[in-house]
Structure 1
Amino acid sequence: MLNDPQNPVQSLAGPRARLLALSQERGVSLASLSELLGRNPTYLQQFIRKGSPRKLEEQDRATLARFLGVTEAELREAQDNSYVKAPRRETGVWVDVPRLDLGASAGPGAVPGGEGAFDTFRFSRRWLAEQGLESAQLSAIRVEGDSMEPLLNDGDEILVDRSPRAFRDGIHVVRLGDTLMVKRVASAGAGRIALLSQNLAYPPVEVSADEVAIIGRVVWKGGRI
Structure 2
Amino acid sequence: MVNASDDPARARLLELAQGQGVSLAGLSEMIGRNSSYLQQFIRKGSPRKLEEGDRRKLAGYFGVGESELGGADDISAGTVGVPRADWTEVPRLSIGAAAGSGALAADERPFDSFRFSRRWLQEQGLATAQLSTIRVQGDSMVPTLHDGDEILVDRTQRGLRDGVHVVRLGDMLMVKRLAAAGPGRARLLSENPVYPPVEVGLDELEIIGRVVWKSGRL
TM-score between the two structures when normalised by the length of structure 1: 0.60
Bigger Rg, structure 1 or 2: 1
Alignment partner, residue 190 of structure 1: 183
How far residue 114 of structure 1 moved from its aligned partner, in angstroms, is 2.2
Matches within 5 A, 1:47-196: 85-86=21-22, 89-91=62-64, 92-163=85-156, 166-196=159-189
C-alpha separation in 2, matches of 1:211 and 1:202: 20
* Deviation for aligned residue 1:169: 1.1
For structure 1, the residue ranges without an aligned partner over 5 or more in a row are 1-83
User: Which residue of 2 is the match for residue 216 of structure 1?
Assistant: 209
Q: How many pairs align?
A: 142
State the Cα distance separating 1:224 from its structure 2 match: 0.2
Superposition TM-score, scaled by structure 2 size: 0.62
Partner Cα distance (2:199, 2:158) in 1: 22
How far 1:184 sits from its partner (Å)?
Answer: 0.1
The Cα of 1:196 is off from its aligned counterpart by 0.2
8 Å Cα contact 1:183-1:197 kept in structure 2:
yes
Work out the CA distance in 2 between the residues paired with 1:96 and 1:204.
Answer: 35
Secondary structure of the structure 2 residue equivalent to 1:186: strand
Letter in 2 for 1:93: D
Alignment CA distance shift 1:210-1:139 (3 Å)? same
Task: Give percent identity, aligned residues only.
Answer: 64
The 3 A distance-change label for structure 1 pair 166 and 208 is closer
SS at match of 1:189: coil
CA contact (8 A) 2:158 2:210 kept: no
Contact 2:93 2:110 in 1 (8 A): yes
For residues 57-116 of structure 1, the C-alpha deviation after alignment (integer angstroms, 9 at most, x for no partner) is xxxxxxxxxxxxxxxxxxxxxxxxxxx932871321000000000000101112022221
Q: What secondary structure is seen at the aligned counterpart in 2 of 1:159? A: strand
CA distance in 1, matches of 2:22, 2:152: 13
Instruction: Output the CA distance in 1 between the equivalents of 2:208 and 2:138.
Output: 19
Contact 1:86–1:139 (CA<8 Å) still a contact in 2? Answer: no
> Which letter maps to 1:85?
G
Equivalent position amino acid for 2:179 in 1: A
Question: Against the structure 1 CA distance between its residues 165 and 149, is the aligned structure 2 distance closer, same or farther, given a 3 Å change threshold?
Answer: closer
Q: What do you get for the CA RMSD once the two structures are aligned?
A: 1.6
Give the alignment of 1:36-55 within 5 angstroms.
Answer: none
Q: CA deviation at 1:148?
A: 0.3
The answer as to whether partners of 2:158 and 2:208 remain within 8 angstroms in 1 is no
- SS in structure 1 at match of 2:120: helix
How far apart are the structure 1 equivalents of 2:173 and 2:107? 12
Give, in angstroms, the shift of residue 190 of structure 1: 1.8
1:165–1:176 Cα change, 3 Å: closer
8 Å Cα contact 1:147-1:201 kept in structure 2: yes
